[in-house]
């Protein structure tokens, strides 16, 4: 049976008042007027009121006590998540020289402080990114003009000119979707699988001076991949290996033409590039990251002296229409996807998604944090289980890069009064009596030491100090351009953030912590059972989780629909769906930042031998056409809108599924009519492995108030051997597949043909010699 809370005193106000009034004749016999207007009765009522409030508080555990009980159970509240992002340093009017900055610089967005995580050498250049976008819609007359103009480039019978337009990758703007270019899409993306980054010098400065200032210096590029849906894999720990420089997934090359003796400072000859050796690199195709490399010497920083029709053709950099900008380009850096020829030169050559949103020079990672150095915690007492608290919370325990070192450093004086660094541990009971270890609750800022049997005690009379970072909370989610102050910059320099920050979120409340006590006691923050994976994933900080599905013994990379019951021991797949998606509100897709947050949260809690796949859903596009007959007296358009809403809600990945009946969500009506709040009628998302049937859709439509009957209904899907939707009775869904309605029509009478709901098809690509095309102007 459940444990009932103890009631210290359950008397009500009326009971307290009547009991006190009954004692009046015993203690004061001369008091005989008990009317409501009597001042004494007023005082008795006040006494009863105050006593009732005191009993009410006594019967409830105060918040401080609840926090203490949580700490005794070893359950800490989830601290606020800190915002992360990129900043770019710009030398606008400063001296024409490089300006190195170490990591740890403080930048501000109003009163919100951020700290840089990576060092940067500020060079007097900015970036302008271009790509060669295919032009397949030229009229025949224009094509003939360009074919005649560039006929000299057709040397072999198999050569064919392909036209492109040099498109500049737009800068992100507030209120607009993030720009994106797909390097691997030769139809709508890039013709040559490359992004061309021009290093642009300041205005009214000679290019020779710019090249002299940047020659031999380290260039830092910040790269932000477009948050597209992708998978993340947590491989068994035994198969992971450390690398000094990670593979960024891209090839970085710099223009290297042959020197032109007739024109010093210019180049000549065919398009030629030298691959840059990376000093530091993140995997920028998987997550936002930094790439650093050293630029060539001055004599190698030259560009081609083009012939009139040579600029922008073939492998040359794209044609820049803005001549004022073109005159300020010091050199070109080509960022391209690796090919088979690169597999022997250090690149993996693996096929990955290559959607890029932003590339910026002089970039550094930042995190919402402030640094505290050598804060004195107190003096050791020599007693077991000593505890101390830092002044500022929550404490940030985020992995570091660059030269930052460890952000949380605790030191204790030894017998010689020298400072010794103690180590952070997860479990004091696993420590020996001589281990200099401690535990930390980041949310409360509490530091706990061992008992002497499990973990060493801080000695008597010895000072304890700590250096740490603190910060976090929703204020760290700032817009583009909000970070604009840095006291470490000299005159003429400025800082800005070209992208909004991400990951900032409020901490867990005491109420939420109490709610998770039973779950925590079951899994102890370790991923073992299916429920453990679901519960812990739902608590991922920094994201708003809409749905979590756990598929044990399932490998999405090796799944075969012909053998749906096959299992893979040691493998588990977690399907996550965000609660909100601005791009696809009806079918939310987790982006890279979302998946990275989930992986970083799960990785230290999983078994080292478990392979975990974290993926978003695989949406199967379907088309629905419904013909209904409306009851007399009903507004036809309103009924048709309700039918559309009912079908979309029924098939939704977050609110879809068969109707449920519960006291919390209400019950379906006896007439089968759809109530006003449609999201409460259905489940928590379309179930995995459940096929979509036409009969179920008919049942949903008939429940909508105002529908007399269904004339006809069509359910369509595009099969492998057809380019148009095929009308089917049911659509099977396997693995991580969920339905997504991409076309729906509801009308009076007979259902519309499914072909009318189909969008436009793509165009077959052509891969040949790139030729620039200038946009027509009036």
CA distances from 701 to 190, 649, 684, 704 (A): 45, 12, 20, 6
SS3 42: helix
Give the strands of the sheet with 181-182, arranged side by side. Answer: 181-182, 355-361, 218-225, 289-294, 278-281
Range of weakest confidence among 79-93, 256-270, 537-551, 653-667: 653-667
Q: Would the pLDDT of 747 be above 70?
A: yes
pLDDT of residue 255: 93
pTM: 0.68
Three-state secondary structure of 286-322: CCCEEEEEECCCHHHCCEECCCCCCCCCCCCCCCCCC
The whole-angstrom separation of Cα 459 and Cα 381 is 7
d(CA 589, CA 598) in angstroms, rounded, equals: 14
Q: What is the pLDDT of residue 215?
A: 94
| 251 band by pLDDT with thresholds 50, 70 and 90 | very high
Contact status, residue 755 vs residue 726, Cβ threshold 8 Å: no
What is the structure's pLDDT at 37? 85
Q: Is the pLDDT of residue 583 over 80?
A: no
CATH fold label, 525-615? GMP Synthetase; Chain A, domain 3 (3.30.300)
Which residues are CB-contacts of 28 (< 8 A; sequence separation ≥ 6)? none
More confident residue, 615 or 401: 615
User: How many percent of the chain have pLDDT more than 70?
Assistant: 81
C-beta of residue 200 within 8 angstroms of C-beta of residue 170: no
Residue by residue, DSSP assigns 512-560 as HHHHTHHHHHHHTT-B-SHHHHHHHHHT-TTS-EEEEEEEET--TTT--
- Structure confidence by residue, pLDDT tens digits, 287-328: 899 999 999 999 889 898 877 677 888 888 998 988 899 999
Q: How many residues does the chain have?
A: 778
Taking 50 as the threshold, does the pLDDT of residue 470 lie above it? yes
* pLDDT tens-digit map of 590-646: 887 888 889 888 888 888 788 899 999 999 999 999 999 999 988 898 999 999 999
For residue 419, the model assigns a pLDDT of 95
pLDDT at 331 over 50: yes
- Residue 184 to residue 252: CA distance in whole angstroms: 16
Q: Examine the pLDDT at 195 and tell me if it is beyond 70.
A: yes
Q: What is the pLDDT of residues 35-64, one digit of tens each?
A: 888 888 999 999 899 988 888 877 666 666
Residue 436: partners with Cβ closer than 8 Å, 6 or more residues away? 412, 420, 422, 423, 456
Taking CA atoms, 547 is separated from 358, 535, 662, in Å, by: 30, 11, 20
Q: Do 79 and 507 meet the contact criterion of CB atoms below 8 Å apart?
A: yes
138-154 pLDDT, tens digit each: 666 766 666 666 665 55
* Rg over CA atoms, the chain: 34
β-strands 120-122, 737-748 pairing: unpaired
Whole-number pLDDT of residue 185: 84
For range 117-139, the mean pLDDT: 88
Report residue 365's pLDDT band, with 50, 70 and 90 as the boundaries: very high
CA-to-CA distance for 606 and 601, rounded, in angstroms? 10
Q: What pLDDT was estimated at residue 159? A: 57
Q: pLDDT confidence of 733, banded at 50, 70, 90?
A: very high
Domain ranges for the chain: 13-60, 124-227+245-361, 370-470, 525-615, 621-754
Say yes or no to pLDDT of 240 above 90: no
Q: At 528, is the pLDDT very low, low, confident or very high (cuts 50, 70, 90)?
A: confident
């Amino acid at each position: 049976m459940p444990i009932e809370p103890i009631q210290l005193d359950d008397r009500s106000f009326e009971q307290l008042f009547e009991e006190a009034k009954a004692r009046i004749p015993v203690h004061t016999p001369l008091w005989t007027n008990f009317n409501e207007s009597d001042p004494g009765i007023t005082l008795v009522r006040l006494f009863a009121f105050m006593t009732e409030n005191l009993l009410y508080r006594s019967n409830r555990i105060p918040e401080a006590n609840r926090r203490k009980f949580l700490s005794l159970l070893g359950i800490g509240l989830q601290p606020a998540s800190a915002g992360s992002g990129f900043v770019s340093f710009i030398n606008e009017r400063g001296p024409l020289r490089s300006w190195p900055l170490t990591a740890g610089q403080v930048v501000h967005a109003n009163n919100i402080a951020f700290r840089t995580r990576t060092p940067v050498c500020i060079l007097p250049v900015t970036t302008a990114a271009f790509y060669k976008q295919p032009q397949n819609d030229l009229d025949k007359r224009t094509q003939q003009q360009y074919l005649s103009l560039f006929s000299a480039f057709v040397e072999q019978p198999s050569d064919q000119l392909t036209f492109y337009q040099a498109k500049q990758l737009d800068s992100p703007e507030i209120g607009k979707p993030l720009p994106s270019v797909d390097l691997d899409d030769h139809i709508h993306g890039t013709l040559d699988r490359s992004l061309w980054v021009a290093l642009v010098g300041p205005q009214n400065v000679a290019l020779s001076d710019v090249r002299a200032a940047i020659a031999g210096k380290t260039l830092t590029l910040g790269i932000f991949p477009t948050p597209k849906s992708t998978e993340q894999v947590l491989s068994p720990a035994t198969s992971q290996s450390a690398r000094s420089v990670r593979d960024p997934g891209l090839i970085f090359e710099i223009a290297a033409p042959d020197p032109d003796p007739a024109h010093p400072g210019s180049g000549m000859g065919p398009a030629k590039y030298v691959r840059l050796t990376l000093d530091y690199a993140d995997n920028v195709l998987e997550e936002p990251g930094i790439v650093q490399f050293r630029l060539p010497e001055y004599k190698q920083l030259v560009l081609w002296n083009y012939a009139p029709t040579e600029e922008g053709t073939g492998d040359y950099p794209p044609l820049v229409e803005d001549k004022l900008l073109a005159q300020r380009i010091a050199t070109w850096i080509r960022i391209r996807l690796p090919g088979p020829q690169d597999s022997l030169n250090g690149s993996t050559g693996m096929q990955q998604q290559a959607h890029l949103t932003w590339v910026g020079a002089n970039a550094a990672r930042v995190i919402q944090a402030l640094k505290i150095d050598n804060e004195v915690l107190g003096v050791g007492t020599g007693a077991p289980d000593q505890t101390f608290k830092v002044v500022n919370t929550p404490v940030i325990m985020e992995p570091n890069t660059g030269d930052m070192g460890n952000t949380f450093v605790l030191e204790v004086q030894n017998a010689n009064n020298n400072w010794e660094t103690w180590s952070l541990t997860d479990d004091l009971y696993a420590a020996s009596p001589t281990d200099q270890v401690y535990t930390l609750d980041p949310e409360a800022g509490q530091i706990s030491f061992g008992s002497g049997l499990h973990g060493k005690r801080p000695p008597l009379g010895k000072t304890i100090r700590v250096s740490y970072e603190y910060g976090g909370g929703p204020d760290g989610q700032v817009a583009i351009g909000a970070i604009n102050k840095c006291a470490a910059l000299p005159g003429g320099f400025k800082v800005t953030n070209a992208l909004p920050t991400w990951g900032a979120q409020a901490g867990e409340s005491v109420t939420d912590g109490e709610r998770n006590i039973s779950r925590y006691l079951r899994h102890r923050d370790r991923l073992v059972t299916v429920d453990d994976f679901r519960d812990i994933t739902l608590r991922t900080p920094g994201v708003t989780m809409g749905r979590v599905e756990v598929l044990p013994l399932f490998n999405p990379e090796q799944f075969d629909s012909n053998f749906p019951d096959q299992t893979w021991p040691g493998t588990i797949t977690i399907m996550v769906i965000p609660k909100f998606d601005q791009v696809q509100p009806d079918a939310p897709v987790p982006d890279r930042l979302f998946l990275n947050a989930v992986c970083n949260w799960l990785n230290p809690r999983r078994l080292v031998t478990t392979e975990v796949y974290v993926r978003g859903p695989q949406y199967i596009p379907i088309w629905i056409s419904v013909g209904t007959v409306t009851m007399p007296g009903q507004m036809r358009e309103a009924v048709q809108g309700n039918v559309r809403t009912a079908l979309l809600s029924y098939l939704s990945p977050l609110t879809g599924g068969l109707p449920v009946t519960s006291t919390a969500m209400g019950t379906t009506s006896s007439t089968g009519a759809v109530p006003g709040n449609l999201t409460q009628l259905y489940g928590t998302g379309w179930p995995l492995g459940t096929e979509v049937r036409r009969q179920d859709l008919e049942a949903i439509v008939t429940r909508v108030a105002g529908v007399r009957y269904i004339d006809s209904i069509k359910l369509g899907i595009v099969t492998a051997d057809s380019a148009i939707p095929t009308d089917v009775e049911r659509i099977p869904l396997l693995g991580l597949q969920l339905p997504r309605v991409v076309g729906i029509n509801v009308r009076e009478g007979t259902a519309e043909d499914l072909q009318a709901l189909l969008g436009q098809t793509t165009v077959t690509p052509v891969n040949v010699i790139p030729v620039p095309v200038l946009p027509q102007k009036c």
